[in-house]
């Protein structure tokens, strides 16, 4: 665990989605037609109805997916779209925080759905007007846990560069990697779950907003094959284990209790739980592990329904919704716990205090 001095504030959060909305019923119909000769896929089709998702967003239109796409073609779309979405989210977050880009002391960028060298933060310096002396931290490979770990690293950077603000940028374009000839269960589940989006946050030591009190991580042993990407000739292929909800159900509670205990806290001391919505089964398992009534993770479920699973980005969408109209918009909360899980297999936590 890393415990902060209660001076680092989450000053603002902003989100952005690409222009193409994918209605879940439409996606399901197209997948059913695309794989009409595959009995395996036809048996998997109910997953589109059980995800709890109504709509997602994509940086490319439906027709793009019907043509063969090479690694270079997919990554070129990633670079262009990721930069545009991050610029949009960053400008909104800076404006809400009343921070000038030229005053930013560090920028942290999290993404796992494309390759960028120079990294996305370097590509955004000129468009955003960030200083040439800004400290840069690009982070790759975290997948769905990246929102929580990115927030934690940005808070640590805010301590290091105080009083300058830190800009956190997270973008994932998961839908780019749909594989039109892949009948594996992982590809179909990924197609039913994943969408595209970006988010930005401003953190500052001494700023106004909820305080980042602590952060921590736990990597479960012997779980490297639970989640991740396989690199193939034409792109990235999703790896999912059917055991993720069971792992959360049976092993998550002792981990979260140990994390809280390091701050002399228990789950009873947490007023608001905000979790990355990996899927409805994972949310069910998390509610059980937290000792919550079914359906209690309202902000997480609402984001999943409207945007799908956007990997690392999703937790920041949950956080933004909670601050704007959800649990953190209420005057009664005192302490909130953010959590996410991703490749490693790793759980990450961030504690916010009012």
Active site residues: 144
Q: Which residues pair with 203 in a beta bridge?
A: 10, 166
SS percent in the chain: helix, strand, coil, step 5 = 45, 25, 30
Provide the Cα torsion 273, 274, 277, 281; round to 10°. Answer: 0
Give the tokens for residue 327.
Answer: 């649990």
Residue 70 CB burial class (10 angstroms; 0-12, 13-18, ≥19)? exposed
CA atoms within 13 A on the CB side of 348: 25
CA distance 199 to 86: 7
Residue 132 CB: number of other CB atoms within 10 A?
Answer: 6
Token look-up 């709509």 returns 55
CB 329 within 8 A of CB 322: yes
> Cα 128–134–137 angle (5° rounding)?
95
CA distance 66 to 62: 7
Residue 324 to residues 127, 212, 319, 327, Cα–Cα distance (Å): 28, 18, 9, 9
Provide the Cα torsion 215, 213, 93, 271; round to 10°. Answer: 100
- Nearest to residue 340, comparing CAs of 293, 273, 288, 295? 273
């Amino acid at each position: 665990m890393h415990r902060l001095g209660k001076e680092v504030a989450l000053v603002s959060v902003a989100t952005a989605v690409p222009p193409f909305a994918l209605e879940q019923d439409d996606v399901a119909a197209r997948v059913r037609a695309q794989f009409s000769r595959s009995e395996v896929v036809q048996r998997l089709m109910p997953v589109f109805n059980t995800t709890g998702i109504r709509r997602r967003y994509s940086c490319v239109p439906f027709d793009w997916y019907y043509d063969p796409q090479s690694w270079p073609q997919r990554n070129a779309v990633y670079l262009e779209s990721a930069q545009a979405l991050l610029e949009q989210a960053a400008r909104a977050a800076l404006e809400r925080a009343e921070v000038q880009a030229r005053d930013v002391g560090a920028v942290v960028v999290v993404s796992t759905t494309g390759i960028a060298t120079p990294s996305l933060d370097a590509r955004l310096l000129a468009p955003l007007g960030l200083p040439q002396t800004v400290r840069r931290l690009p982070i790759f490979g975290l997948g769905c846990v990246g929102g929580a770990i990115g927030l934690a690293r940005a808070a640590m950077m805010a301590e290091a560069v105080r009083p300058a603000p830190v800009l956190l940028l997270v973008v994932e374009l998961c839908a780019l990697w749909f594989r039109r000839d892949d009948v594996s269960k992982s590809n179909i589940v990924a197609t039913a779950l994943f969408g595209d989006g970006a988010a930005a946050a401003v953190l500052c030591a001494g700023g106004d907003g909820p305080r980042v009190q602590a952060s921590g991580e736990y990597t479960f042993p012997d779980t490297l094959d639970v989640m991740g990407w396989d690199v193939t000739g034409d792109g990235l292929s999703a790896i999912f284990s059917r055991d993720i909800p069971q792992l959360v159900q049976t092993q998550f509670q002792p981990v979260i209790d140990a994390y809280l205990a390091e701050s002399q806290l228990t789950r009873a001391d947490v007023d608001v739980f905000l979790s990355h919505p990996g899927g409805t089964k994972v949310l069910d398992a998390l509610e059980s592990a937290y000792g919550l009534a079914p359906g209690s993770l309202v902000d997480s479920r609402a984001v999943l329904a409207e945007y799908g699973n956007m990997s690392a980005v999703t937790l920041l969408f949950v956080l933004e919704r909670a601050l704007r109209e959800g649990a953190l918009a209420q005057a009664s909360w005192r302490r909130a716990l953010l959590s996410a899980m991703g490749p490693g297999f790793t759980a990450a936590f961030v504690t916010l205090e009012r």
